[in-house]
Structure 1
Amino acid sequence: MTLVQMQSRPASADPAHTPVAEVMDAAGPQVCDDMSVEVALSVMAAARTGRLVVCDLDGRCTGLVTHAELTALRDSSSYTDRVRLRDILGDHQSFTSPVTTMAEAEHAMRICRLGALPVVDEQDSALGVLALSC
């Protein structure tokens, strides 16, 4: 058994001013933007996740896709097996910095109606994902 030391947060600490880096989830699976929708759905199933961080050939984060979006697309009449993730990113090309405050990130996510937002460094490499809980 490993002992974990917990630190209590000062009563004066304001969660709204907490940097995103302190509360983000791990980035999880990262896939290339030339991946097909079917393969992306298979990766999600294997990883038991509902979202994938999408990167270009240089490893820069280009967006995020969800299982619900990919399933809806696959089930639509306009779907073909030639559709690649880069073709469907659309509004999901939003990112945040690890030093952005939670208040700023939550505000932006609500305005853009995003349930999750990739957190990237100065080179646009994915560090994690910030997801709204409600």
Structure 2
Amino acid sequence: MYAAIAIAVIIVAVAFAVLVAYIAKTLTATKRTLDNVADTIESMEKQVEGITTETTLLLQKTNDLAEDVNYKVDRLNSVFDGVHEVGETFHNLTLSMKKLSNTVNKAADVDSEKAEEAVKWTSAIVNVFKNRKN
């Protein structure tokens, strides 16, 4: 019976040794994996830091560009306002010229005979002055 107990103890001891060896191997593999994960995370942190710096610079440049565009748009708005005012002025001038032309046409229709006579008299006066100079 002592022999059976001794064999059982040896089997338990061997099983325990195999279990310890397996656990040690698993822990070693886990350590390697965690070391790789730590290296990868460290590498990613450096890359993210670089990306963060570049992103900050890009945002700053974008803000500067947006500010410049807003400034130029404000300046262009004043130019467009000026062009609009010039356009309105020409429009008003055109309307005034049309009204004047219509008024002159109406007056010319009514007083066309008087206008003819005035042209004849003016022509005669000019001829008299020309003849006096010669």
Specify if TM > 0.5.
no
Structure with the bigger percentage of helix = 2
If you compute each CA radius of gyration, which structure gives the higher value, 1 or 2? 2
**TM-score, normalised to structure 2's length?**
0.15
